[in-house]
Amino acid sequence: MATCDRPGLMPLNEGIAKLLAAVSGQARTETVALAAAANRVLAEDVFAPAPVPGFDNSAMDGYAVRAADMALGKTYTVQGRALAGAAFDQWLHPNQVVRIMTGAAIPRGADTVIAQEDSLLDGAAVGFSELAPLGSHVRRAGDDIAQGSRVVAAKTRLNAVHLALLASVGCASVTVYGKTTVALISTGDELKSPGQALDYGDIYNSNAPALTRMLAKLGVDIIDYGIVQDDPELFRLAFQRADRECDFILTSGGVSVGEADYTRDILEELGHIDFWRLAIKPGKPFAFGRLPNSYFIGLPGNPVSALVTFHLLGSQAIRQHQHLGYQPMSQLQAITTEPIQKAPGRMDFQRGHWQSSAEGVEVAPTGRAQGSHILTSLADANCYIALEQERGSVAAGESVTLWLFDEMF
């Protein structure tokens, strides 16, 4: 079979490999309070200075007992009470018990907790309807985290659970990598911001709010340069300023082969293009390059192309700078319930909606059409139907590979 690669178009995986190789990780680190560390990337392993829990404690409300003393039909004097935060600080007497609440330290001499539900209350004395094996309902010191063990590894983006773990070992501040700074530049004479009046032929800038949200999820600082008119001198000024202020320059529009497409020219003039034009659909004119102080991500202007290429490529470049590396989307095989038109030559990222049924996983393309200007196709989707570069049209009932949407959408 003849090869279907289009000359001049780079396969997606080559583009991703080039981009990952080009971007080095942020060198700067800083120390921030734990309360300000959400979504930041940890720069050092954090080890537990003490075990968690720090002491044996009760998993239930009930009675702390010595298992060897226990028998059905006997009654026991309640020697005292142990509460979370208010330990019982005497030794447990033989044939006595201590009332204990969840989280309270196990009194010295006790080894077992009998649940309240299994107790028969009789004033200051108590009997039991059910006995518990030795060690029941006791949470051991170090059950969760052993002293000296690694609590969270360096190069982790801190989520809610990581923050809880760090707090549980008493970590008040953490060393994180400096935030990646991204300049967002929307290019096009036709662009207006919502709230402004449109002249005939104008459109609203829909890429900027979407990219702002996706960048926020990546935890970067954004400098929004707004809309830059299609004028090489204005591009030059914007790129030069952004290059001084930011780690990445993220543009949308002006990167194709039209008469007002100056992005590549100015990128080449001020820096260097690593690659341009990928064998993907949507998003062929994606460009990646470098300026003296920054990396350059040039997204196509069409809304679907801009968001999909940012998802597939741009976000990965930023993750690389954040020391997080490439994050592939989860993949799933599915049966398409509808035929899909495709020409060999480019890898196609159709927007789809998948669900599982009695027959297995099914998927259908979303939207009335799949053009790169049909944003609604993306809104209704929960995955890409990733059709291989060399593949042609797909019939209903054929198996296709899905790339499942992650936190970006």
Long-range Cβ pairs for the range 315-320 (8 Å, 24+): 315/214, 315/218, 315/408, 316/16, 316/19, 316/20, 317/19, 317/20, 317/22, 317/23, 317/248, 317/288, 318/180, 318/182, 318/215, 318/218, 318/220, 318/248, 319/218, 320/19, 320/20, 320/23, 320/25
CB of residue 285 to ligand AMP, shortest distance in Å: 7
Instruction: Considering the complex, state which of residue 7 and residue 201 has its C-beta at the smaller distance from Mg ion.
Output: 201
Listed in sequence order, the residues at least 6 apart from 248 whose beta carbon sits closer than 8 Å to its beta carbon are: 180, 181, 182, 183, 220, 294, 295, 296, 297, 317, 318, 321
- Interface residue with ligand AMP among 96, 136, 186, 315 (CB under 6 A) is 186
Listed in sequence order, the residues at least 6 apart from 85 whose beta carbon sits closer than 8 Å to its beta carbon are: 103, 104
Burial 126-147 (b: 16+ CB within 10 A, else e): bebeeebeeebbbbebbebbee
* CA dist., res. 385 & res. 203, Å (int): 29
Count of residues near Mg ion by CB under 5 A: 4
SS3 394: strand
Residues 19-58, one symbol each (x = binds ligand AMP by CB under 6 A, - = not), give ----------------------------------------
8 Å CB contact between 303 and 206: yes
Instruction: Considering the complex, state which of residue 253 and residue 314 has its C-beta at the smaller distance from ligand AMP.
Output: 253
Q: Which residue's CB atom is positioned nearest to ligand AMP?
A: 301
Residue span binding ligand AMP (CB under 6 A) among the ranges 27-35, 164-172, 187-195, 311-319: 187-195
191 scored as a contact of ligand AMP (CB under 6 A): yes
CB of residue 254 to Mg ion, shortest distance in Å: 5
* CA dist., res. 282 & res. 303, Å (int): 10
303 scored as a contact of Mg ion (CB under 5 A): no
CB of residue 309 to ligand AMP, shortest distance in Å: 11
Which helix (H) or strand (E) is 354 found in, with range? strand 347-357
Residue 190 interface partner, choices ligand AMP, Mg ion, none, CB cut-off 5-8 Å depending on type: ligand AMP
CB of residue 225 to ligand AMP, shortest distance in Å: 12
- Interface residue with ligand AMP among 254, 298, 365, 367 (CB under 6 A) is 254
Take residue 151 and report the two structure tokens written for it. 């609590």
Residue span binding ligand AMP (CB under 6 A) among the ranges 68-76, 88-96, 188-196, 357-365: 188-196
Residue span binding Mg ion (CB under 5 A) among the ranges 111-119, 126-134, 187-195, 343-351: 187-195
CB of residue 252 to Mg ion, shortest distance in Å: 9
What are 295's strand-pairing partners?
A: 248, 290
Q: DSSP secondary structure string, 128-144? A: ESS---TTTTEEPTTSS
258 scored as a contact of ligand AMP (CB under 6 A): yes
Residues 263-302, one symbol each (x = binds ligand AMP by CB under 6 A, - = not), give -------------------------------------xxx
DSSP class of 164? H
316 scored as a contact of ligand AMP (CB under 6 A): no
- Interface residue with Mg ion among 51, 62, 254, 352 (CB under 5 A) is 254
253 scored as a contact of Mg ion (CB under 5 A): yes
119 scored as a contact of ligand AMP (CB under 6 A): no
Instruction: Considering the complex, state which of residue 296 and residue 354 has its C-beta at the smaller distance from Mg ion.
Output: 296
253 scored as a contact of ligand AMP (CB under 6 A): yes
- Interface residue with ligand AMP among 205, 309, 350, 370 (CB under 6 A) is 205
Q: If we measure between CA atoms, which residue out of 260, 253, 259 comes closest to residue 300? A: 253
Instruction: Considering the complex, state which of residue 23 and residue 191 has its C-beta at the smaller distance from ligand AMP.
Output: 191
188 scored as a contact of Mg ion (CB under 5 A): yes
188 scored as a contact of ligand AMP (CB under 6 A): yes
Q: How far is CA 47 from the centre of its chain?
A: 23
* CA dist., res. 386 & res. 264, Å (int): 28
Q: DSSP secondary structure string, 167-196? A: HHTT--EEEEEPPPEEEEEEE-TTEE-BTB
Query: Interface with ligand AMP by CB under 6 A: which residues?
Result: 186, 188, 190-191, 203, 205-208, 252-256, 258, 261, 300-303
Query: Interface with Mg ion by CB under 5 A: which residues?
Result: 188, 253-254, 301
